[in-house]
Structure 1
Amino acid sequence: MADMSPPDNNRRAARRRGKRSGKVADFRYKRPSQPDSSASGEQPKRRDGKTSETARPEGPAVGALPGHRHGPHPRQAYAALDLGTNNCRLLIARPSGENFTVIDAFSRVVRLGEGLATNGRLSDEAMDRAVGALGVCADKLRRRNVFLARSVATEACRRASNGEEFIERVRRETGIALDIISAQEEARLAVLGCHVLLESGTGPALIFDIGGGSTELVLVEQTQTVPEIVDWVSVPWGVVSLTDTVGRVEGDEAARNDRYAEMRRVVLESFAPFAERITDYAQQGAEIRLLGTSGTVTTLASLHLELPHYDRRAVDGLIVESKSMREISARLSTMSRDDRSALPCIGPDRSELVVAGCAILESILDIWSADRLGVADRGIREGILRSLMASNA
């Protein structure tokens, strides 16, 4: 088989990945008529499934828009937008005391990274889909009169040789200024957005985010506020990039087994240096904790619960035995695409990509043998919103 490393022809993006990124919000939302416009993102949600979450004072302070001399009025809206390799998601929220409440949301599968692993570029069709979704987001931002927003782009734009050109097109056509964040910043925001769902305990914890184009693993130790990041890694394998590079799990059962095994091999090879570094932590046995945020873990959790349709209130904050998640992953890897499509909470869109997610999840369980897995339906966008609101409290 061909080289397993996805193409990375964008040297500027490569330099960016090695740079520490601690930015909280460098962009304010403006209408498209103003060239230096916006960024947006998504908000945190509560463990009980309601649409609010405590915002703690984390990250550097960011000033308000011109004319705002003090902190934001409770009716002012904040936004967080995350353009990933597979999805475009937006959340808009208002402060509510120490919490905040979602007032608008948007999510669309745009498959921005489709074909990227093969040719190193964002295709015209993928960019058109993403710009269309971002246009909807821009309309929502204008209608909600957003006070402060941040929009981020992740692995697809980091890796694509034409990523910067796409960012400029988005700014020109929608007024949204996307910030191509580093893998380190992506990991930090994911932790900030979901760490409240970690099981209580004193042992080390691993938080992971399986995306479309990359997967971030973050080793943390508990503190009284936000967990301390001990070590982290980002590998260029997400559900889209791994599927496009290794190939779809199709054919007869033997062929499907072989393709799934190859996915597992590729991912474990990428995890190997990080796995060696965290060996001492991983050997602490039952005390170790594990928390995942991604469409993969929420989908598998839905199958574990045998839900007829996805229910965030049932899934967000759920604790599942790792053994059950492995069993579901193994079963999905041997099924045909049509059979996977027929399962509740998967459908045609997820049926092609969920197997790659299973391969990544099982590989994580190989290097971090926690008995249980926490499931989070929250992450980067929630982390962005918590930072934005805390910085203007």
Structure 2
Amino acid sequence: MRQNRLAAIDIGTNSIRSIIVETAGNGKYRILDDEKVLVRLGEGLHQTGAISPAAWERAIEALSRQKKIIDGYRVASIEAVATSAMRKAVNGRELVAAIREHTGLEIEVISGEEEAELAALSAQHNFELEGVRHLIFDIGGGSLELISALGGHTEEMLSLELGAVFLTESFIKSDPVSPSEHQKLRKYIRKTLKTAYTGERTGMQCLVGSGGTVTSIAAMVAASRGEKFDSLHGYELLRSELVHLLAMLARKGDKERRALPGLNPDRSDIIVAGVTAVDELMDFFQVNHLKVNERGIREGLILRALRRRNLLPEKKRRSWRESALEFARSCHCDEGHARQVAKLSRQIFHALAKRYGWGDKELRLLDAAAVMHDVGYFISYSSHHKHSYHLIRHADLFGFTPRERELMANIARYHRKSLPKKKHDEFTRLTAADQLLVSRLGGILRLCDGLDRRRNAVVRQLDCAIDKDLLRLTLSGDEDMSVEVYGAKAKSDLLQEACRLKLVLEVRVDSDLQEEKGDDDYEEPAGYPDRH
């Protein structure tokens, strides 16, 4: 038995998911296995009130296989819960007993409120929500859980019968869905929300959603944008995109929906009802911004297990900056060099920001990319810039969207060697605007890497002045900086090309110059926000 390994199983109305993790201390863990099986446990439940024999057998088969996988990892404990379908079914207790007999698993049938708490635990672990009024929701096959909160303070918690399977079986009989059916569906969702939610609806700044419907929405929107990400965790979209997506889905029959890029064919029959519920939720709370939590309840189970074992530290404010620095440290980067390059990059950024309309979002991309640009050394020196791209792209970084991870990976990739080319697939799949942003920010990073050629922070201060098409950099320090000037000239090509600027380097040696206060603490300019 491995004491640092835990497993969690979420038995939902539509699917059964299991996850196996290995804890690393300080509340952190890495995923060893993640299994999902579509069982449709709630199939026909609305009409009969019972779990059907076919769904019963599918559940036993899936859980037997998942239990064998879990046993193979020799985990110390298993957290297994069942949600809406098992709560509602008249034979739910009998199925719990059958699962225990066939697999040895002890299943806890949790309430809707407990389900909401697990979803909130995961969302608060993954997103910066301090001081933000927000709504966390998890939509499954049978129910929809809602948690409205301000920062870490919960205002209201609800579990409503608004799951995708339940709504489909209750309202959608035709294919494609008829306008009258869709209108009745919308009316029911609105009435349910209005009756159940008694709190203040205004002032919500964002929604954080989890569940198969939400990840399917993200996958379809990403496909329509031509985006390809390994993970959609942290993906962001606007309600306008959801409205257009729903209009398209409602026009199509099941056969057409099954062929849609980004949509799992097994979910095609319930997707219209699921997306309608999310759309009505955004309309009800007048929120324009949706963030995707890929992890949801099963991660909540892991976090709860860590808390019960006193392995989850007291909650503290998480920072995207610390996340980037921790990742760089885990790759054994030269931290002094990383901090110096980030410091110099910020100074050039501020000189150019007004010219290109850059703000805090662009600054945090450059800052984090600068800190992580050399993580590829962890694999090898040769082509380490390319290794940096892949490591950053796949990193589990707090506070960054999939698009932002892709941009940072590209910015870091061009800190040395070749400039962006049409044959570079990772660059050409970006939008034209993002290609230009990567080239300009990558040019800054590339130049600043040259400005610390000896990796000893000899450039103590960098003064930047821009006049039309001329960028003048004055390097200040207390010793010879000829190597740094040479390095900067050699690596100024991308910045000059992307920004259409001519670079002039000047040197000022001052033996009395002291290093800027606070640099060792990786401090940023005043007003530079942590929150994304």
TM-score (normalised: structure 1) = 0.74
**Cα deviations by residue, 1:92-150 (Å, 9 ceiling, x for unpaired):** 11111321011122110000000000010000000000000000111012111110111
**Cα deviations by residue, 1:293-314 (Å, 9 ceiling, x for unpaired):** 1111211111211179997744
Decide whether aligned partners of structure 1 residues 371 and 247 sit closer, same or farther in structure 2, where only a CA change above 3 A counts: closer
SS in 2 for 1:95: strand
Alignment partner of 1:318 is 2:243: no
How do 1:162-173 and structure 2 match up within 5 A? 162-173=91-102
Contact 1:249 1:355 (C-alpha < 8 Å) held by counterparts? no
Q: What residue is the counterpart of 1:18 in the other structure?
A: none
Q: What residue is the counterpart of 2:306 in the other structure?
A: 389
Q: Matched residues in 2 for 1:256 and 1:199: separation?
A: 40
Q: What residue is the counterpart of 1:58 in the other structure?
A: none
Identity of aligned residues (%): 30
Q: CA deviation at 1:190?
A: 0.6
**Cα deviations by residue, 1:319-361 (Å, 9 ceiling, x for unpaired):** 2112111221122112111111110122431110100101111
Alignment partner of 1:259 is 2:184: no
Q: Matched residues in 2 for 1:229 and 1:249: separation?
A: 40
Q: CA deviation at 1:201?
A: 6.0
Q: CA deviation at 1:249?
A: 4.6
Pick one of 156, 175, 179 that aligns with 1:231.
156
Q: Matched residues in 1 for 2:111 and 2:230: separation?
A: 31
**Cα deviations by residue, 1:160-191 (Å, 9 ceiling, x for unpaired):** 00000010000001111110000000000011
How do 1:322-333 and structure 2 match up within 5 A? 322-333=239-250
Q: CA deviation at 1:217?
A: 1.1
Q: Matched residues in 1 for 2:293 and 2:228: separation?
A: 12
Structure 2: runs of 5+ lacking an equivalent? 312-532
Q: Matched residues in 1 for 2:273 and 2:192: separation?
A: 14
Alignment partner of 1:87 is 2:15: yes
Q: What amino acid maps onto 1:368 in structure 2? A: F
Alignment partner of 1:291 is 2:208: yes
Decide whether aligned partners of structure 1 residues 177 and 114 sit closer, same or farther in structure 2, where only a CA change above 3 A counts: same
Contact 1:246 1:259 (C-alpha < 8 Å) held by counterparts? yes
Alignment partner of 1:143 is 2:72: yes
Which has more radius of gyration? 2
Q: What residue is the counterpart of 1:161 in the other structure?
A: 90
Q: Matched residues in 2 for 1:246 and 1:228: separation?
A: 36
Q: What amino acid maps onto 1:341 in structure 2? A: R
Decide whether aligned partners of structure 1 residues 121 and 200 sit closer, same or farther in structure 2, where only a CA change above 3 A counts: closer
Alignment partner of 1:270 is 2:199: no
TM-score (normalised: structure 2) = 0.56
Contact 1:298 1:377 (C-alpha < 8 Å) held by counterparts? yes
Pick one of 39, 42, 51 that aligns with 1:122.
51
Q: Matched residues in 2 for 1:239 and 1:115: separation?
A: 13
Moved more, 383-392 or 197-206: 197-206
Q: What residue is the counterpart of 1:246 in the other structure?
A: 171
SS in 2 for 1:300: helix
Say which structure is richer in helix.
Answer: 2
Contact 1:208 1:218 (C-alpha < 8 Å) held by counterparts? yes
Q: What amino acid maps onto 1:259 in structure 2? A: E
Alignment partner of 1:369 is 2:309: no
Q: Matched residues in 2 for 1:331 and 1:150: separation?
A: 39
RMSD (CA atoms) = 2.1
Q: What residue is the counterpart of 2:25 in the other structure?
A: 97
SS in 1 for 2:145: strand
**Cα deviations by residue, 1:247-274 (Å, 9 ceiling, x for unpaired):** 34515xxx52222212111111111123
Structure 1: runs of 5+ lacking an equivalent? 1-64, 66-71
**Cα deviations by residue, 1:30-86 (Å, 9 ceiling, x for unpaired):** xxxxxxxxxxxxxxxxxxxxxxxxxxxxxxxxxxx9xxxxxx84xx31010000001
Pick one of 100, 113, 118 that aligns with 1:189.
118
